[in-house]
Amino acid sequence: MIKRKSKREIGRMQEAGRLLANVHKEIKSMIKPGITTMDIENFVDDYLHKHGATAEQKGYQGYEYATCASINDEICHGFPRKEPLKTGDIVTVDMVVNLDGALADSAWTHTVGEIDADTQKLLDVTKTSLYKGIEQARIGNRIGDIGHAIQSYVEAEGYSVVRDFTGHGIGETIHEDPYIPHFGEAGKGMRLKEGMVITIEPMVNVGGWESRMDTNNWTARTLDGTLSAQYEHTVAITKDGPLIMTEHNEQ
Ligand code: MF3
Ligand code: CO
């Protein structure tokens, strides 16, 4: 079932989104070689509580942390850990903020120290693909338009889009209908309607799209061991077009 949100509900989710965008900016400024994803986890938990919010991922389906921290070939749902990040690593930090019952979900891939040009290109293409998907998130368009815009661009750049994890509706809980694949055919799938709030969160791999699950039963990695990046925003479908609720205002 799809729950469309009122202007008021969207406004409250926007507040949560603003806080989440600020958290990503703080993380960006703290990341450097030597810090750990557990340091980031502790910072986020603390920051959210100081700002009257909670980390919605903690306890969600048994997940134990406020953040997911996915390093290099990890696609998503990496656990925060005590191993120091090294120069040249990339790390995707994903979290869901709950502010007075309103949720917002956003992920960002950060770089650690200097990275090589090929890795930078992966990040740039992944971020651009997110915005190409968002551009399609308009009343009357279909879900397949979003996936098609992302997939066609990413594949033209020589990368692949993960199939095993999708974007999703978000509201009172993290995952609601409808599901938003980051691949697909233009003009196919359900029509987007005013008041839908969805996440768009392409995960892009240097090699093939196939993934494998770690023994922890959470963390997905690229099957071929190549790097994977991800950018995610929470977006409302409005009369004025896509409204990005977790914008970071920095490219
Ligand atoms: N933030 C994730 C998403 O984009 C959800 C993570 S599920 C959790 O869909 F259990 F790991 F929290
Ligand atoms: Co997320």
Instruction: Note down pLDDT in tens along the chain; length 251 residues.
Output: 999 999 999 999 999 999 999 999 999 999 999 999 999 999 999 999 999 999 999 999 999 999 999 999 999 999 999 999 999 999 999 999 999 999 999 999 999 999 999 999 999 999 999 999 999 999 999 999 999 999 999 999 999 999 999 999 999 999 999 999 999 999 999 999 999 999 999 999 999 999 999 999 999 999 999 999 999 999 999 999 999 999 976 54
* Structural domains of the chain, ranges and CATH numbers in brackets: 7-244 (3.90.230.10)
Which SS3 state, helix, strand or coil, does residue 63 take? Answer: coil
Ligand 1 contact, 63 CB (< 6 A): yes
Structure tokens at 41: 């986890």
Distance between CA atoms of residues 149 and 158, nearest Å: 15
Distance between CA atoms of residues 50 and 32, nearest Å: 24
Ligand 1 contact, 233 CB (< 6 A): no
Q: What region, left, alpha or beta, does residue 88 occupy, with left being phi > 0 and alpha being psi -120 to 50 degrees?
A: left
Is residue 91 a contact partner of residue 38, using CB atoms and an 8 Å limit? Answer: no
Q: What pLDDT was estimated at residue 248? A: 77
Query: Which of 48, 10, 8 lies closest to 170, judged by CA?
Result: 10
CA of 94 to the centre of ligand 2 (A): 5
**Probe target for ligand 1 pocket from 63, 173, 174, 233, with the most ligand atoms within 8 Å of CB:** 174
Q: What pLDDT was estimated at residue 250? A: 55
Q: What pLDDT was estimated at residue 251? A: 44
Query: Which of 202, 89, 95 lies closest to 155, judged by CA?
Result: 202
Q: Which atom of ligand 1 is nearest to the CA of 201?
A: 4
CA of 103 to the centre of ligand 1 (A): 12
**Probe target for ligand 1 pocket from 37, 63, 68, with the most ligand atoms within 8 Å of CB:** 68
> pTM for this one?
0.97
Distances (CA, A) of 79 to 71, 147, 216: 10, 27, 9
b/e map 188-222, b = 16+ CB within 10 Å? ebeebeebbbbbbbbbbbbeebebeeeeeebbbbb
Q: Which atom of ligand 1 is nearest to the CA of 232?
A: 4
Q: What region, left, alpha or beta, does residue 100 occupy, with left being phi > 0 and alpha being psi -120 to 50 degrees?
A: left
**Probe target for ligand 1 pocket from 64, 67, 76, with the most ligand atoms within 8 Å of CB:** 76
Antiparallel, parallel or unpaired: β 90-99 and 54-55: antiparallel
Structure tokens at 166: 């999708």
Distance between CA atoms of residues 120 and 211, nearest Å: 22
* Mean pLDDT across the chain: 97
Q: What pLDDT was estimated at residue 243? A: 98
Query: Which of 142, 245, 162 lies closest to 204, judged by CA?
Result: 162
Provide φ and ψ at 107, rounded to 5°.
-125, 155
Q: Which atom of ligand 1 is nearest to the CA of 62?
A: 10
CA of 93 to the centre of ligand 2 (A): 8
Q: Which atom of ligand 1 is nearest to the CA of 94?
A: 1
Which SS3 state, helix, strand or coil, does residue 169 take? Answer: strand
